[in-house]
Amino acid sequence: MSELYVEVRGSGAPLVLLHGWGLNVRVWDTLGAALEERFRLIAVDLPGHGHSPWRSECAAAREQVRWIARSVEALIGATPYGLLGWSLGSELALAWAAHPPGGLARPAHLVLIAATPRFTAAPDWPHGKPEAQLLRLAAGLRQDYRRTVSEFLELQVRGSAAGQAVLEQMRAALFAHGDAQPEALAAGLELLRTLDLRSELAAIATPALAIAGQYDRVLLPAATRALAAALPHARYAEIRRAAHAPFLSHTPEVADLLAEFLSSP
């Protein structure tokens, strides 16, 4: 199986970066510039996103995690490493931390931005979004996937103090590096619709930092707060006046949080 597209920058302890649905490694450029003097950043285009290939047989979360791990394990080696996931990437990061793939050790630190163990609502999970929203997105993909992704980007920045600037950064990432393949986008929505990692959380002993944006319209901050409460060793931070991508709208604040957390024992 071919490797996924990976970019490495900076020096220091390794930190693997997993982006969200529809985006690519370019979304990390601003945060990367703030962290590269302290950490070795390993950014991965998720399967079927950006420059990475797609294989339908790897649509399941565990298979995607294995594929990502195979693409970065030589860059990590035996060095203690951190793992950062945003949105869809945070669910993959949780699956990774619960069952480290291949020969990799558990991450030394886990950062989860706009994260949830279950995206859709359920009688015992009031923090999720209605399943019908994902089904509408999936229908939109079949009709015009570029327009659907564009509308989803706009939803991600609503309520943010720097919404227009963040939207321009996201669009620039797609323009500069390439958008995702429709099959990968559809599989990502199905993963969000069906994945439920709540039963795995108690086994994740890794120290974790869960970050939410106060005005996130994609994923309720309550979901990230509940996730942090369910993890054995996690703390929760909420960024005021941020939306779904606080690392873009409030880069210095998020970078300081990360640097402090990732440098702790």
Residues with catalytic roles: 87, 216, 244
Q: How far is CA 160 from CA 85, 152, 165, 176, 251, in A?
A: 20, 14, 10, 23, 13
Cα–Cα distance for residue pair 173/261, rounded to 1 Å: 27
CB 213 within 8 A of CB 160: yes
The first and second tokens of residue 108, run together, are 């030394």
The first and second tokens of residue 7, run together, are 């970019």
What is the phi/psi pair of residue 77, to 5°? 60, -135
- Three-state secondary structure string covering 42-82: EEECCCCCCCCCCCHHHCCHHHHHHHHHHHHHHHHCCCCCE
CB 244 within 8 A of CB 215: no
CB 125 within 8 A of CB 230: no
How distant is the alpha carbon of residue 234 from its chain centre? 17
